[in-house]
Amino acid sequence: MFRLLSHHGRRARTCLSYQRRHKHYKSILAIRREDINPWERRAPLAPRHVKEITHAGHKVLVQPSNRRAIHEKYYEKAGAIIQEDISEASLIIGVKRPPEEKVYPRKTYAFFSHTIKAQEANMGLLDDLLKKEVRLIDYEKMVDPNGYRIVAFGQWAGVAGMINILHGLGLRFLALGHHTPFMHIGMAHNYRNVSQAVQAVRDCGYEISMGLMPKSIGPVTFCFTGTGNVSKGAQDIINELPVEYVEPHELKDVSETGDMTKVYATVLSRHHHLMRKSDSIYDPMEYENHPELYTSHFRTSVAPYTTCLINGIYWDPHTPRLLRRLDAQKLIRHVKPSAAATEGCPELPHKLLAICDISADTGGSIQFMNECTTIDKPFCMYDADQHIDHDSVEGNGILMCSIDNLPAQLPIEATEYFGDRLFPYIWEMLPSDATRPLEEEDFSPQVRDAVITSNGTLTPKFEYIEKLRERREQAQIMKKAGMKRVLLLGSGYVSGPVIEYLTRDEGTQVTVASVVLNQAEELAAKYPNTIPVMLDVTSQEGHLSSLVKDHDLVISLLPYGFHPVIAKQCIKRKVNLVTASYLSPAMKELQQSAEEAGITIVNEMGLDPGIDHMLAMECIDQAKADGCTVESYSSFCGGLPAPECSDNPLRYKFSWSPYGVLLNTISPAIFLKDNQVVSIPAGGSLMDSTNPMDFLPGFSLEGFPNRDSTKYAEPYGIQSAHTLIRGTLRFKGFSNAMSGFVKLGLINAEPCPMLEHTSAPVSWKELLCKQMGLSPSISHDAFEEAVYEHIGKDNFRMETLRWFGMLSKEMVPHADSVLASLAKHLEARLSFDKGERDMIIMRNDVGLRHPTGELETKHISLVVYGDPSGFSAMAKTVGYPAAIAARMVLDGEITTKGLVVPMTRDIYGPALKRLKEEGLNITSKSTLQE
C-alpha cells in the first residue's frame, strides 16, 4: 500500500511539474546573479516583492547564487523558479552591470550601468549593449519631476559609510596615541544586521556621555554635506551618539570649547558655503543655471573646525569643489602643541582627521580623492604634501574612506529598501519588448527617461555620452603640444614592439585603440607617451573618424578585412596609414582616392607579407643590375614554437590570431611549377598538398602553398620565372593533424546557434555527433568508431583529437561558430607558457641565370627566436617593420602618395638596415650549377 501511495505521489508531482512548465504566463522576469564584485550580495527585489509578481500571473526566474545574502529558498517559497538559464525572460534585472559575455541580445535590462558620465571602465559594456540591441533602463536616471532619484540605495550608503568612518576614526585616533570609544565599532559588514551595528554605536555613545573621550583631543565635530538620502542615512547613525547639531558658523566655537561628553554635527547646505565669485552673494536660481560663476568658502569657514567630513553631494564638472589639494595642504599643517600637551596625552596634529566620501566621485568635489577604496581595504591616508595615498591609518595626512558599493555591506536591509522603491515601476517594465520601437512602450516618464539604449542606438537624452567620451579622449590626446601623434589600432600580440620603437622618440605619442581596454591600459602603463582608448571599429565608425582626425598617422594591426573602412576614414581626414596586411582588392580600389587626398597608405609591411618582399626585391634588383634573369622564386615562412616547446600533436603554438591560423588551412592556393599553373581548391585540399622542407635539416619542416603566388610575377618583375611559389612552414605532423579537424567539419566559420553564449553548454562529443549526423546518445565506442571513419582511419589524427580532449564530454567553449570555438579551445592548450619561446623561419630561394649561362641559386634565410622575458619572434618580425615604416612616413622618408608596398629600393633599403639593427640576422648563401 505504501509503495502504491509513493508511486501515486510521484505521478502527481510529475504532473504538477509538467503543468508548471507549460503554464501560460503574462510575462517572464529574471533576477540575474551578481558577479562583478565578490562583496555584492544584494538583489534588486526581495522575496516579498517576488511573491506579489508571481501571484499576479508572471513568471520569475532567479539565477542561483551562494553569495546572495537572502537565501534562494525564500525566493522559491515566494513562487520563483531557481534556474541557471534565464534566456526566456524578456526583462532581466540586477543591481550592478553584467559581464559583456553574459548579456543576452534583444532583451530589456535594468541595472546601474555607470555609463552616464561616459565612465571609461564601462564603455565596453555600453558598446556591447548597443551591438546586441539591448534596451537598458538605468536606475540612476529614474527621477521624480524635481530631478530627485526615486530608485536608489542612497540611505543605506549613508548608513554603512557612517558606521565605517566611525570605525576608521577609532583606528586613526589610536594611531595618534588615543584609545577612544570608537574602537568598539566595527566595519558595517561585520554585523549580522543594522540593529547590531546601531547597538555598537549606542554603546560607544554611552561611553562618550560618561566622559571617556581623551581630553587632549578636544571636541569631536562632524560635517555632513548635502540634504538627500545619503546624508540622512549617515545622520541616522550619528543620532545614536550624544550629538548636538549646530549651524556651520557655530562649528568654530564648539570645536574649541565644546562639551567633551558629546559630539557636534553640522549639516551643510548650498547657501552655507557657496558664493558668487564676483560679489560673494548666493543666488539659488542663478546657481542652478550657472554654477561655474560660483566658488565655495568651505575650505576656510568650515573645514578647519571639522574632525570628520561626510560628503554626500553629487558633483558636476561645472560646480565648485569643496576641497582641493592646496586646501588639504593647509588643513594638515601641524598645530603648535599647547603647554598642557604631554607625551602620554598628545594633542591632535591638526583638526581635520578623516573624510568619508560616500559620493565616491573620483576627482570630484574632493579633488584629491583620485581612487575609491574597497570594502576589504576601506581606508588610506592622503598625504597632501607628497600628493600620495598610502594604505595605512598611520603617518601624516587625512584618513580617506571612499567605498563605491557601501550598501553591499548591509545587503538584506539594502535589498528590502531598494525593492520597495523599484517595485511600483516593475509592472510597466514587465511587458517591455526590446525588439519593438521604444515609442510603442507604455512607459511612465520615470522609466522612459531612464532608457539609455534601445534598438541598437543611444536614446536622444543620452546621445551626449558619445560626444562626452570623444571630448575626454581628445583632451587627453591633445594635452601635449608639438607631438607627432600615432593612432595604433589593435593591442594584441605584435603591438608592443610598435609602441616601444615609436616611443623611443620623446616627440612621438601613441594612442592605443582596442576593443579590449585592459590590454591597451597595460601597454600604456609600460611605455611613455602612450594613451589607451576603447574602440570597436565594427560598430563605431564615428568614433574611429574622430580619433583619426586627431592623429598624424594611423597604424592598423587589425585583420585585413577592416582596412578598407579604416583607409576611407584616413582618406577623409587626410591622415597617412600603415598596415602589415595584404593589399586586398577592396584596398586597391582606393588608390585614386588616396592620391587625391595626398596621403600615403603603406601596406604589406610586416613579416609575410613584408620582410619577404623586401628580401626578394633586394635580391632581384641586384640580380638584374648584374644582368641576370630570374628563373625561379620560392619563399616559405612560418611562425613556430621553438623545437623544445613543440610538444603537442600539432607541433604548434599560437603567436598570432588562432582564428586566422585555422582559417588559412582551408584557403585555396595557386602557384607556378615548371611553367604549369597549379590550383588547389578551398575547403581543405591545402592540407593534402604539403611537402617536406629540408633546407634546414636540423628542423623537421613541411610546407604548403599560400594564396595566389602567381600574382607576384609582375610586381617582382620576374615574368621570366618558370616556378613561383610562396608558402607556409610548419613542423611535420601539423597538416595531417589539421586534416582531421577539416574532415570533421570543425573549420567552419558559419554561425552556429548551439554554441552561442546564451545557449546551454555542449560537449565535444555532442558537437561532433551533430557534425557527423549522429544521435548524441550513441555509445562511446560507436562514437569513436564513427569519428575514426570520418578522419580516414588515421591513428595519428585520432590521437590528436584524444590529446585535445575532443572525444570526451569536455565542454566546447561558447562562440559564434564552430571555428571560433575550436580556436578558443586550441588557444587554451597551445598558448606559450612562461619561459617558452617562439621562432620565425623564412627562406627565399631565387634561381638566377647569369649571362655566362651559369645557374646560381641564392638561399636567403632568416631565423629569429623570441625572448621569453621580452617580445616574441612573431611580434618583433611583424611589429618592427610596421613601426619602421611609420617612422619613415612621419619623418618624410616615404613621400609617395597613394598605395605603397615595400618593393622599391627607397623603402626596402633603409628598412632592412634598421631591421638588422634590431637584431634580425639575415644570412645569404649561393649554390652554382653549370
Q: Are 148 and 155 in contact (CB under 8 A)?
A: no
The answer to whether the beta carbons of residues 245 and 265 sit under 8 Å apart is yes
For the chain, helix, strand, coil in percent to 5 are 40, 20, 40
Element (H, E) at 399: strand 398-401
Q: How far apart (Å, rounded) are the C-alpha atoms in residues 516 and 183? A: 44
Q: What is the 3-state secondary structure (H, E, C) of 834-865?
A: CCCCEEEEEEEEEEEECCCCCEEEEEEEEEEE
- Classify residue 493 as exposed, middle or buried by CB count within 10 Å of its CB (0-12, 13-18, 19+): buried
| Integer angstrom CA distances of residue 615 from 454, 710, 872 | 53, 18, 21
Question: Going by DSSP bridges, is the β-strand pair 701-705/723-731 parallel, antiparallel, or unpaired?
Answer: antiparallel
* Identity at 26, one-letter amino acid code: K
Q: Are 128 and 536 in contact (CB under 8 A)?
A: no
Q: How far is CA 565 from the centre of its chain?
A: 23
The torsion angle over the Cα atoms of residues 384, 388, 391 and 392, rounded to 10 degrees, is: -30
Alpha helix stretches (DSSP H) within 132-250: 154-175, 194-209, 229-238
Taking residue 905's Cβ as centre, other Cβ atoms within 10 Å add up to 12
Cβ atoms 266, 247 nearer than 8 A:
yes
| 228, 154 contact by CB (below 8 A) | yes
- Three-state secondary structure of 672-741: EECCEEEEECCCCHHHHCCEEECCCCCCCEEEEECEECHHHHHHHCCCCCCEEEEEEEEECCHHHHHHHH
Reading the block at residue 892, the C-alpha cell is: 618624410
Nearest alpha carbon to residue 46 among 89, 80, 75, 79: 75
C-alpha cell at position 161: 559609510
**Rounded Cα distance, 230 and 241, in Å:** 18
Residue 863 CB neighbour total at 10 angstroms: 16
Q: How many helices (H) and strands (E) does the chain have?
A: 31, 35
Assigned C-alpha cell, 765 = 562529443
- Can you tell me the distance from the alpha carbon of 449 to that of 428, in angstroms, rounded to the nearest whole number? 13
Residue 664's DSSP bridge partners are none
Q: Is the dihedral of CA 412, 417, 422, 423 positive or negative?
A: positive
Amino acid in position 301: S
Provide the strand spans (E) within 735-854. 838-849
Cα separation, 888 vs 774, whole angstroms? 58
- Backbone angle region of 104, left / alpha / beta, with phi > 0 → left and psi within -120 to 50 → alpha: beta
Residue 238 buriedness (CB in 10 A; 0-12 / 13-18 / 19+): buried
> Helices 495-502 and 873-890, interaxial angle, to 10°?
40
Q: Is 608 a catalytic residue?
A: yes
Residue from 608, 612, 838, 845 carrying the catalytic annotation: 608
* Closest to 30 in 3D by CA, of 500, 529, 430: 430
- Residues with catalytic function: 608
